[in-house]
Every structure is written in structure tokens, then in C-alpha cells.
Amino acid sequence: MKRLCSSVVLSALLLSSAVLAKEDEKPAAGLFKPQQSESQGSVNGVDYQAVAGTLVVHAKGWEDTAALDKAKGGKDDDAAPAPEASMFYAAYFKKGAKAEARPITFLFNGGPGSSTIWLHMGAFGPKRVVTPGDQHQPAAPYKLVDNQYSLLDSTDLVFIDAPGTGFSRIAGKDKDKAFLGVDQDANAFAEFVTAFLSKYGRWNSPKYILGESYGTTRAGALVNLLENENSVDVNGVILISQALNYDVLPDYPELNPGVDEPYVMWLPSYATTAWYHKKLPAEAPKDLKALVAEVNSFAAGEYTSALAAGNLLDPAKRKAVAEKLHKYTGLPTAYIEKANLRVSMGEFQKTLLGDADMTTGGLDTRFSGPTLDPLAKEASYDPQGAAVGSAYVAAGNDYVRKVLKFGGELAYKPTVRADWDFSHRPPGADKPLQTQVNVMPDLAAAMKVNPNLKIMANAGYFDVVTPFYEGIYEMSHLAIPPALQSNIEFAYYESGHMVYVNEASLKALHENVAAFIKKTANAK
């Protein structure tokens, strides 16, 4: 999972002390209490109330055993506290709007192990940090502006930090095991969403889930829990930089021989990257969309067939495919043949520019930066992550403390590294499966239970961490009736993994998501 989410690359931990509890204190049972701080604001003509706060959630199957024992006259003083999480959120509500007429959207980033500072401060919150489109951001001070692309013109917003990230905290016996895993995390978010709907009286509002990167994995599992275990019909699921099935995810496929789909998923993004850096040979299409259409067809057909043949591929056919790969990637034919027609992301980043001293990005391949080790086989860092991470973290810390009046000296954890439990129990399984994560069955189950559920997949052409073709592949392989395929729509941008870093793409993303919400909200 080292390549999945921008949050893992954009890591920086800032130290401070506490609104809830000091960092070095061991929380006792029931220490976490809901917190909140309210403020007001206006953006793009929308007057809003902002609430920064926490809600307390528990692991699946939790019961308040301490309270039960106390009611029976027993003592629980020596018992280990049950695991619980205090989940931080920043919510924005349009003033004067009726709940049943106003959509509400729950947003989160991924990782796993990421806070939601990126979507909050870069995409849809009322303020956004300004960063260069494809260059390294100079050091502080950073520029924070009113966000003309905030989704507050279309929906109320709830940005949520996953347990253990941001201002969210976990405590109690076996707390990591209770919250840091695919199913555990999805359960915590499901409990958070239902608690939030109750706290703020939003059960009758049109409801949306928006996730980025691993957040799309979470969204697939979460919407299934909401639909099938909590009787919450969701109007729409909005995915940015999609990753639902990790068997096709380009994450070290060389360690999983015989599964060649990752190389197919990568190829169209390699082509768009080579196009951007002007590394394609003369015979390649000059128009980006024409190039994408041609490479998608080759990837799904001739390239897939060649890889499926493995070592039995005819040498003449192998040579022909290598030459086409050269046409679409700009990499030398001899290099492609030496790589056995299977070039990994790190190899591509390190090789494309033909300069041992420069490496392209993975999150956004338009970015490039000095190579850390010119003799290495693969790139060893991500230039985009290094370019913009500090700006988001610094501006977000400043904003949440000074404007939202929350946090005080408490450390905000943009990302954390955790021993994540990737086992997952999909619908129909009697136990968690020890296989690559795949939440496609979860999303399909939610769509079948709620045939009105709409899905919007957004992707950047210059993302090789979660390539845009992966979304096409996954959505065309969902186990749903043909009639439900029309419930899915796609949007593509000249951007990377974090679509919103490029202002033109952010503008288009806002317009597309706002239109999606408007036509699916059922609001009167």
C-alpha cells in the first residue's frame, strides 16, 4: 500500500497539546467526550455556520458494559476500558436552509492513515490554499483564499478525520485492532454518519458520500453498511481517484506474478504522461483525448492478450507489442523488452525523462524533481507530495485553530503510519477474507438494494497511483444488472491524483460534482 494515497506521501506531524487529552496521557474509560466549537462565515454568497467538533464512536459489537455492571451493583474499576474513538469533523451548514431541501455530503481522504486536510483545504471547503500547478511550492507564508469552488453552493459539508488521524483519537484495550482495518474503519464511519444525522437532525436530508483514494475503498464498504445495516438510503457516492479492487491496483505487481491487470491499468496514464512531457514519438496522436481513446483500446485488447500469453508469446508478436508500447510511452523499445513488456510505476518515473538526475511524480506525473539516487532502478520519492504537502498542513493548522477555534495545542496528525488490517468480509462471506481487498461486491450490493443510488467516478489523466483506466475497468466489472450500469457516470481531468491541485481541474470538478448533486438530490 505504499503507493495508494497522497496522504501517505504527504506526511508531516505537527506537535502540540490538548483540548481532549494530552498526547502522553493514557485515556481512561469514557474519557472521550463530544466537543464542538461554532463560528460563522460566508463564501460565494452563502452564509454558513461552521462547527468543528468530535463525536465518540465504538468498535462493532460494543456495549456499555461498565454502565451495565454499575447498574447491577458491580465494580468495573479494574477492567480495561473498551476501545473507542473520538472522531473529529469540520461541518458547514448553510444558514436558513431546511433539512429536507438541503443535501449533506460526508467527505474523507484515504491513506489508509490520512486525515482529510487535503479535501478540506484544497478542494471543497470555504477556504483553500493556493499552490502551483506543477511546481514545488515555496516555503511559508502560504496563501489562503476564499474558495470560489466550495461545494457549499450545492450541499452542506462534513469533513471527517479517520480514527487516529488529524484531531481524531483512539483509546482503550486493543484500540489499533478495533479501528485500524478495512471493516473496522468502515464500521466507525457508519456509526459516525448515523450519530451525526441524529445530532444535527439531518435524517431527512439528501445524503452523499465523497471519498478520495483509499477513501473510495472506504466509501464502497461504508455505503453498503449504511444501506444494508443502518437502513440509510444514500443519494450518491462520489469517488475521486478510485481504488476498489487491489488485485488490479498498480501496487508492486511484480510481487504478484500471473496477475497482469495492473500493467494494463497503468498504460493509458503512461501515455498521457509522455504526452505531457513531449516524449511521444511523432506517430503518436497529438490530441490528448484521441490518444486516450487509442491507448485504452490497445490496453484492453492487444496488450491484454499479449500479457496473458506470458512466456508463450510469439517473439515476433512480442516485438510488435514492444514497439507499440514505445509509441504510447516514449520509453526505448529495448528497455520495454528487457522489462518483459511490464514496466512498473517506479521504473517509468525514473526512466521517462531520459535524465538520471530527474524523476517524474506518481501522484501527479506533470511534477518532476531531482532524483534521490541516480543509480536506483525505481523512483524513491514523489515530487508532487514533496511539492505541496507543507502548504496544506501549515495552512490547515492555522485555519482550524484561528478561524474554527478548535484544537488549541492538540497535535494535528496529517498522516499516521499504522499496521492496517486489510482483511475484508464482503457481502455473502461468512468471515473476513485473507485476500487482496475488493469492495466492488460491497458497492454492487448497495446499488442493488438501492437501485436509485447514483455513482460518480472522477479521475486525473496524470495519476499513476490510482490510474484513471482502473476506474473504467472496475465500474465495468461490477456484479450489477445491466440496467444499473446507467447509474454510473465518469469525469476526467488534466490533473493528477489530487484533482483539485490544478485550479482549472478544480473548477471543472466543482461544476461536475455540483451538477451530479443537483440532479440526484430529489430536493423540492
Question: What pLDDT is recorded for position 31?
Answer: 61
Architecture of the domain spanning 6-247+388-520: 3-Layer(aba) Sandwich (3.40)
Asked whether residue 388 carries a pLDDT value surpassing 60, the answer given is yes
The pTM (predicted TM-score) of the whole model is 0.90
Nine cell digits for residue 422: 486489510
Q: Find how far residue 311's CA is from the centre of its chain.
A: 36
CB 54 within 8 A of CB 34: yes
Type and span of the H or E element at 397: helix 383-402
DSSP string, 7-66: HHHS--------SS--TTS-PPTT----EEEEEEEEETTEEEEEEEEEEEEE-TT---HH
pLDDT tens across 319-338, in order? 999 999 999 999 999 999 99
Asked whether residue 16 carries a pLDDT value surpassing 50, the answer given is no
The greatest distance separating any two alpha carbons of the chain, rounded to the nearest whole angstrom, comes to: 83
Residue range 173-194: average pLDDT? 95
| Percentage, residues of the chain above pLDDT 70 | 87
Please confirm whether the linkage preceding 481 is cis (ω < 30° from 0): no
Which of 310-314, 362-366, 403-407 is the least confident region?
362-366
Which of 72-86, 115-129, 224-238 is the least confident region?
72-86
Quote the CA–CA distance of 426 and 416 in Å, as a whole number.
Answer: 26
CB 201 within 8 A of CB 99: yes
pLDDT tens across 309-320, in order? 999 999 999 999
Q: Which residues, 6 or more positions from 341, have their beta carbon under 8 angstroms from its beta carbon?
A: 263, 303, 306, 307, 318, 321, 322, 325
Quote the CA–CA distance of 120 and 115 in Å, as a whole number.
Answer: 10
3-state secondary structure 418-453: CCCECCECCCCCCCCECCCCECHHHHHHHHHHCCCC
Task: Give the SS3 label for residue 90.
Answer: strand
Q: Using 50, 70 and 90 to split pLDDT, how confident is the model at 519?
A: very high
pLDDT tens across 236-293, in order? 999 999 999 999 987 778 888 889 999 999 999 999 999 999 999 999 999 999 999 9
Asked whether residue 375 carries a pLDDT value surpassing 80, the answer given is no
Nine cell digits for residue 344: 512498473
Which of 131-135, 168-172, 289-293 is the least confident region?
131-135
What's the chain's average pLDDT? 88
Question: What pLDDT is recorded for position 524?
Answer: 52
Which of 17-31, 147-161, 270-284, 436-450 is the least confident region?
17-31
- Residues carrying CATH 3.40.50.1820, the chain: 6-247+388-520
Question: What pLDDT is recorded for position 146?
Answer: 96
DSSP string, 181-230: BHHHHHHHHHHHHHHHHHHTT-TTS-EEEEEETHHHHHHHHHHHHHHHHS
- Residue 486: DSSP 8-state: G
CB 420 within 8 A of CB 181: yes
Strands 368-370 and 84-94: unpaired
Asked whether residue 26 carries a pLDDT value surpassing 60, the answer given is no
Type and span of the H or E element at 276: helix 261-276
pLDDT tens across 458-490, in order? 999 999 999 999 999 999 999 999 999 999 999
CB 62 within 8 A of CB 82: yes
Nine cell digits for residue 268: 493509458
Quote the CA–CA distance of 264 and 42 in Å, as a whole number.
Answer: 46
Question: What pLDDT is recorded for position 68?
Answer: 52
Asked whether residue 62 carries a pLDDT value surpassing 80, the answer given is no
pLDDT tens across 222-240, in order? 999 999 999 999 999 999 9
CB 368 within 8 A of CB 375: no
pLDDT tens across 188-210, in order? 999 999 999 999 999 999 999 99
Question: What pLDDT is recorded for position 65?
Answer: 56
Question: What pLDDT is recorded for position 376?
Answer: 72
Question: What pLDDT is recorded for position 398?
Answer: 94
